Each structure stands twice: as structure tokens, then as C-alpha cells.
């Protein structure tokens, strides 16, 4: 049995069907039942994980051999450090302890590249050996969760695998990806053509494939290990937008504006953080994960974008 938290999130919706097709029994934990989950036995409504009693949490782990922890409080301005800690750190630690108490062999945690920082030096992608450098409360909460999980793994012998994920896209993705998709659908001209950056991104299909490889793998010598996972190639912001447009079968109306002007506009509008993410380079090196698990991303950028935004993608 595999327990998947956040099973009805945009990542979970890609992961659970793949695990089921691979022959795994799945117990998908969701906040509340919906039209997509209410009649399916693999889903279990648990409410707010932060308010979930320890006894109920331990009960959900019965017969499980692995946990894929996808649920968490996402990065957004309205999330306070206290709320981020309660959901991203405390829940992760409690779930890990509950899993270990029931003899779960493997706990897989979806963390974030933001543990390493907001930008990487061009030509020098982040590697697992780089020192963490979270620069906001969200990144700090994920780093604290990683440390808490590592402590549980070391004290109990449970295997823990941490995946630091870059910008992840797929059907139902929110934040910047959703904003860009809305702009493309409306035919809004975007002043992004002059941006020359490199961003690692990750389609949910590729993430689901990586998780399947992890679930099927044997343990490492270390109790807790950390890896980066991403699509095969990093892309510039204009190339990312153009791939989205191709999937949506619309024209990307890009024009060039100097990056200095974009930064000024971001500061004037109070959206500097959003603008910087569009401008900066943030790459990760996935060689460790690919070598350790003999894995390659099965989907190209265009294939991943077609899954997310093509005619057959859910709205």
C-alpha cells in the first residue's frame, strides 16, 4: 500500500493514476471528497492535516510500505511564517513519526528548490552538495521540514527521500504558470522577448515517473537522501511561454522590453518578486537522481505542456 497526501492536488492527480496503473494499491489522502474522488475507494478524506489527530494519522498508515507526501502550504504572500511552519514542518514531522511507528519503509517528501535560494549562477546549476540558502519563509519552512524528516529517519531507521522541485507545471497549476496561461488565452502582449535566462522546470508527468522509480527502488546507505528532479532541459522564460502557447494553439504575442525597464515596472507595481522570477536564472543538476535510479524524463517540454494546456487537458 502506498499512501499519497495531497492526492487531489495538481501533482497528486498525475501521480495517483500512474501508481494505480503500475499495479500499486494507493490510499490517497484528500482534504474533502469531490465529484472526482467520492466514488473511488482509493481516496480518504482527512480534513485539515494540521488539525488531524495523531491516532487518525497513524491509522491511515496501516499496511503502508511507502508514503509520498505531496500536501503542503504553497508559496504565497498571504501565508504567514507560523502557518507555513504548522503545515510544512509540523505536519511533515508528525506524518513521518506516524509512518515510522507503523513500520513504513520509505517516506518521500516533495520539497522545493527554494531551499537552495532564488537564483543560481549562470552555468552553475544547484547540486545536492550546495549549502541550503532559503531566502523567504516558504523556503525556510521546507528546509526545516527536511531537517525534521531527517531526524525522524535517523532515529527510527525509516528511509527518507527528499525531492527539491523547481517550477512544476501541469493541469491545474496555479501562481505564475496560471497567470501566464490566462494572459496567452486573452491575447495579451507580454514584454518578455528580451529575457535571456535559464530556468529548470518540471512537468507533473515527469515527476510522477520519477516517483514511480523511487517507489520501486532499494534503499540507500544513508537514511535520508536529497535529490533534484527536473525536465531534461532548462528553458528561458520566452521559450517556456512559447511552449505554452503551442500547446494552447494560440500565438505568443511577445515583444522586447529591456530587463531594467521590467524591474522598474515590477517595483512600481509592487510585483518585484514575480518579475524577478521571470528574469532570473534558476537551474538544478539532476545527474545524481538520473544515475542513482537509471531514470530519464519520459516527456519533452512540448509533451508536458500539451498535457497541461492542450485541447484534452482538464480546465
Catalytic residues: 138
Contact (CB, 8 A) for 152 and 96? yes
Cell of 194: 528580451
Beta bridge partners of 164: 111, 228
Q: What are phi and psi of 313, to 5 degrees?
A: -75, 145
Q: Which residue has the cell 552553475?
A: 124
Cell of 217: 527502488
| CA 261 to chain centroid | 31
Q: Pairing between strand 26-30 and 43-45?
A: parallel
Cell of 281: 536564472
Q: How many CB atoms lie within 10 A of CB 100?
A: 20
Non-local CB neighbours of 41 within 8 Å, separated by 6+ positions:
none
Q: How many CB atoms lie within 10 A of CB 122?
A: 12
* Secondary structure (3-state) at 296: coil
Amino acid at each position: 500500500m502506498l499512501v499519497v497526501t495531497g492526492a487531489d492536488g495538481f501533482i497528486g492527480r498525475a501521480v495517483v493514476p500512474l501508481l494505480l496503473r503500475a499495479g500499486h494499491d494507493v490510499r490517497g489522502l484528500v482534504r474533502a471528497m469531490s465529484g472526482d474522488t467520492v466514488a473511488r475507494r482509493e481516496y480518504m478524506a482527512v480534513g485539515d492535516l494540521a488539525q488531524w489527530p495523531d491516532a487518525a494519522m497513524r491509522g491511515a498508515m496501516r499496511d503502508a510500505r511507502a508514503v509520498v507526501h505531496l500536501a503542503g502550504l504553497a508559496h504565497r504572500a498571504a501565508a504567514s511564517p507560523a502557518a507555513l511552519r504548522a503545515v510544512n514542518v509540523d505536519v511533515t514531522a508528525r506524518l513521518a513519526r506516524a509512518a515510522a511507528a507503523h513500520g513504513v519503509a520509505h517516506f518521500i517528501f516533495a520539497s522545493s528548490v527554494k531551499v537552495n535560494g532564488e537564483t543560481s549562477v549562470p552555468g552553475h546549476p544547484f547540486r545536492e552538495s550546495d549549502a541550503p540558502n532559503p531566502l523567504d519563509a516558504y523556503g525556510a519552512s521546507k528546509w526545516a521540514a527536511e531537517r525534521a524528516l531527517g531526524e525522524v529517519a535517523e532515529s527510527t531507521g525509516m528511509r527518507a527521500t527528499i525531492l527539491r522541485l523547481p517550477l512544476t507545471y501541469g493541469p491545474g497549476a496555479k501562481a505564475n504558470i496560471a497567470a501566464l496561461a490566462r494572459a496567452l488565452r486573452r491575447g495579451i502582449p507580454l514584454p518578455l522577448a528580451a529575457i535571456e535566462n535559464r530556468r529548470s522546470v518540471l512537468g507533473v508527468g515527469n515527476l510522477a515517473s520519477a516517483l514511480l522509480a523511487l517507489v520501486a527502488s532499494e534503499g540507500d546507505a544513508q537514511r535520508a537522501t536529497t535529490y533534484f528532479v527536473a525536465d531534461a532541459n532548462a528553458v528561458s522564460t520566452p521559450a517556456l511561454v512559447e511552449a505554452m502557447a503551442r500547446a494552447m494553439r494560440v500565438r505568443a504575442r511577445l515583444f522586447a522590453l529591456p530587463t531594467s525597464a521590467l524591474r522598474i515596472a515590477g517595483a512600481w507595481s509592487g510585483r518585484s518578486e514575480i518579475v524577478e522570477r521571470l528574469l532570473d536564472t534558476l537551474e538544478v543538476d539532476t545527474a545524481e537522481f538520473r544515475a542513482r535510479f537509471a531514470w530519464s524524463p519520459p516527456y519533452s517540454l512540448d509533451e508536458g505542456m500539451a498535457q497541461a494546456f492542450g485541447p484534452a487537458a482538464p480546465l
